[in-house]
Amino acid sequence: MTSLSVRKPGSPAAAAGREGPLERPFSLQIVVDAPAWTQLLARLPAPHLPQSFAYGAAKAAKGWMPRHVVIHDGAEPVAMATVLERRIAGLRVLGRINRGPMFFAETPEPRLVVGAYRALRRAWRGPLVVATALPKGAESDALLRAAGFFRIRGAGWTSGRIDLCRDEDALWRSFSSGFRNRVRQADKAGAVVRIADDAASFDWMVARHEENMRDKGFSAADAIMLHALRAAAPADVTVLQLLDGDKPVAGMSVVRFGAAAEYHIGWFGPEGRRLNAGNALMWATMREMRRRGAAWFDVGGMREGDGYTQFKRTMKPVEYTLAGEWGSVW
């Protein structure tokens, strides 16, 4: 691809001598073009939002330098990752990967997993922290240790995915009866969902999100990061508002990336909760993302004991947990 340049690590033979027989001549290909990166994302069986080009641009607005790389085993691309660099006086002091690297095979061979992680260690010598996209379990732990990483934090990202490739009736039937009943109640109450892609609607959503963080005392992506994300990919960020008459009483923002979409931020006012806004907005979101060609929808994170997580479970997503945060200092 003309938009890509190739950067190869040091001597494969020397690396094999240091790290063992699993090592192969892996190389890293730097991607500088957003459409090329998005095309690659669309090939993945399970991409993650923090690995999108737009999310990298959002982190750049917070002082990180994103580097988008494809990892090759010989001529074959096996994985891709957005590596965020923190620099001081021009010197890299930290590399970070969030929910990556992501492999093109649904179940990659152990040799490819170890080789890809070793290639990242070689290219980002010094502190490298990876909130891995590998699934939680002893097998992932063993592969990460074989690649030279050590565990920093065991609690990995947990969420759930909903298959949007089914026909709409099958999708509707997959939800719990309680979820479906609340959508019907919202319809009977006359609630209307407005779908918007304009900047003013997004500004409204961000303002409600910031109010929500202040009122409830939690931290999440701030306005700087959210506006930078939308500026990088305005067609991929959609706002859905629940209207009571002409008044928006709840809202959600969803981000598309590759063949996927993920719930990102939301706000539910008291009138919205009375109208079952969460149910109405989630159902409208899935219908709209399906119409736009998304293959599946990520519910945007789940946490045991959290009330909103219990609500998300009424949509019957396929839940997953990742293998936590790992580090390397060489």
CATH fold for domain 4-157+323-328: Aminopeptidase (3.40.630)
The contacts of residue 267 (CB under 8 Å, 6+ apart) are 205, 208, 209, 211, 212, 250, 251
pLDDT at 233: 96
Q: Judge whether 4-157+323-328 and 159-300 match in fold.
A: yes
pLDDT at 25: 75
Q: So what's the pLDDT on residue 8?
A: 38
> Which residues of the chain, if any, have pLDDT below 50?
1-19
Domain at 159-300: CATH code: 3.40.630.30
**pLDDT reported for residue 23:** 53
Write out pLDDT tens, residues 167-213.
Answer: 999 999 999 999 999 999 999 999 999 999 999 999 999 999 999 99
What pLDDT is stored for residue 6 in this prediction? 34
The pTM for the full model equals 0.89
Domain residue ranges of the chain, discontinuous segments joined by +: 4-157+323-328, 159-300
